[in-house]
Amino acid sequence: MQLCELWIVPVHSGLLNGNTILLKHAPQCPESALAMEQIFRDAGAPEGAYVNIFATTEQVAGIIADPRVQGVSLTGSERAGSAVAEIAGRNLKKVVLELGGSDPFLVLDSADVDQAATHALFGRFGNTGQACNAAKRIIVADAVYDEFIEKFVSAVTSVKVGDPTEPDTFMGPLSSSAARDGLAAQVDDAVAKGANVLTGGAPLEQPGAWYQPTVLAGVTEDMRAFSEELFGPVAVVYRASSEDDAVELASNSVYGLGAVIQSTDAAKAQAIAARLDTGMVYINEAPGTAPELPFGGIKRSGVGRELGKYGMDEFVNRKLIRTGK
């Protein structure tokens, strides 16, 4: 197996394959990146098996082009993914990209509404909404819309925002003031164009990158919140007139990472899952991930898979050796 570089990704698959890892962390988390490197060192990993690097964008381009590097994987924004893929392609390097998402969360008329509201709360506001596969667009069947909205908004309103080290805190701050301001601009654009704020809708008036847990309704295609990824604690809810309407709305996105379906009708849920234009579908649970499950999307959410068997296969060279008679 050959040298492989993974950039800002889960690294266990690469290490299990016997590859060495160069990891360029996101710029806002240098201390946690160094801590991860130390964890591998303390665990007895061979020297050089996992190396955290500090590098500029120009330096990263040079690293990707280096002939000793056999592949590159990025977890990040669509813009960063395009840049990395361009450099990797120019140098004929294997690439895996796990990029943005605007994942739909479908609540069918056969759903357990209490369970659906709970899963939507955790799926949208966990990690302060800063997850690529968070439930960002909540699409609710007309028959259960009012009941769901009442329970969901009530749950969101009761969320405790505060110090994330406190055991009863549900939601902490955003990763940066820039992230908060960008999210606020998206919400302000929607409100200015007629969206309804069901709860929240503004930054918290306190030092730091805080934003209120927010639910928007009445979002239309002329608003940024309809087509852009909302990377923070803002849920957008839609009323679907039929299952076909729900599927059409769910697939009306440039992204195709994951999706959630809430339904007590197993056959119907499976049928809807097959129609969704996404790389992953979770039924009757909040969106998530696990080491044994392949993770990745389609369309502008990226290419390839991380985790599981398929993730391990991404950076393994398959060699044929045939001996004639």
Superfamily (CATH) of domain 12-99+301-313: Aldehyde Dehydrogenase; Chain A, domain 1 (3.40.605.10)
pLDDT score, position 10: 46
HEC assignment per residue over the chain: CCCCCCECCCCHHHHHCCCCEEEECCCCCHHHHHHHHHHHHHCCCCCCCEEEECCCHHHHHHHHHCCCCCEEEEECCHHHHHHHHHHHHHCCCEEEEECCCCEEEEECCCCCHHHHHHHHHHHHHHHHHCCCCCEEEEEEEHHHHHHHHHHHHHHHHCCCECCCCCCCCCECCCCCHHHHHHHHHHHHHHHHCCCEEEECCCECCCCCCCECCEEEECCCCCCHHHHCCCCCCEEEEEEECCHHHHHHHHHCCCEECCCEEECCCHHHHHHHHHHCCCCCCEECCCCCCCCCCCECCEECCEECCECHHHHHHCCCCCCCCCCCC
Which one of 35-49, 179-193, 303-317 scores highest in mean pLDDT? 179-193
Tell whether the model's pLDDT for residue 101 goes beyond 60: yes
What's the first-to-final CA gap in the chain, in angstroms? 28
Question: Residue 299: what are its φ and ψ, rounded to 5°?
Answer: 55, -135
pLDDT at 210 over 60: yes
Topology match between the domains 12-99+301-313 and 103-283: no
- Banded model confidence at residue 12, pLDDT cuts 50, 70, 90: low
Predicted local distance difference test score (pLDDT) of residue 137: 98
- Give whichever of 3-17, 39-53, 190-204 has the largest mean pLDDT: 190-204
Q: Looking at domain 103-283, which CATH architecture does it have?
A: 3-Layer(aba) Sandwich (3.40)
Give 28's pLDDT tier (boundaries 50, 70, 90): confident
Residue 57's pLDDT is what?
Answer: 83
**Residues taking part in catalysis:** 98, 132
Confidence of residue 264 (pLDDT cuts 50, 70, 90): very high
pLDDT at 5 over 60: no
CB atoms within 10 A of CB 121: 22
In this model, does residue 76 exceed pLDDT 90? no
> Does residue 4 register a pLDDT over 50?
no
Type of residue found at 65: A
Q: What is the mean pLDDT of residues 57-65?
A: 91
* Domain residue spans of the chain: 12-99+301-313, 103-283
| Residues 104-162: tens digit of each pLDDT | 999 999 999 999 999 999 999 999 999 999 999 999 999 999 999 999 999 999 999 99
* Mean pLDDT, range 5-23, rounded to an integer: 66
Report whether pLDDT(1) > 60. no
Pairing between β-strand 260-262 and β-strand 255-256 as defined by DSSP bridges? unpaired
Q: Could you tell me if 253 and 274 are in contact, meaning their C-beta atoms sit under 8 angstroms apart?
A: no
Residue 9 has pLDDT above 50, yes or no: no
Q: Which tops the pLDDT comparison, 57 or 106?
A: 106
Q: How far apart, in whole angstroms, are the C-alpha atoms of residue 49 and residue 318?
A: 22
C-alpha 152/C-alpha 88 separation (Å) is: 43
Chain-wide mean pLDDT for the chain? 92
What pLDDT shows up at residue 91? 95
The mean pLDDT of 308-325, rounded to a whole number, is 90
Confidence check: pLDDT of 234 > 70: yes
Give the model's pLDDT for residue 202: 96
| 150-178 b/e (C-beta count within 10 Å ≥ 16 → b) | ebbbebbeebebeeeeeeeebbbbbbeee
pLDDT tens digits, one per residue of 162-205 = 998 999 999 999 999 999 999 999 999 999 999 999 999 999 98
Given a cut of 90, whether residue 291 has pLDDT beyond it is no
Residue 231 contacts residue 130 (beta carbons within 8 Å): yes
pLDDT computed for residue 104 by the predictor = 98
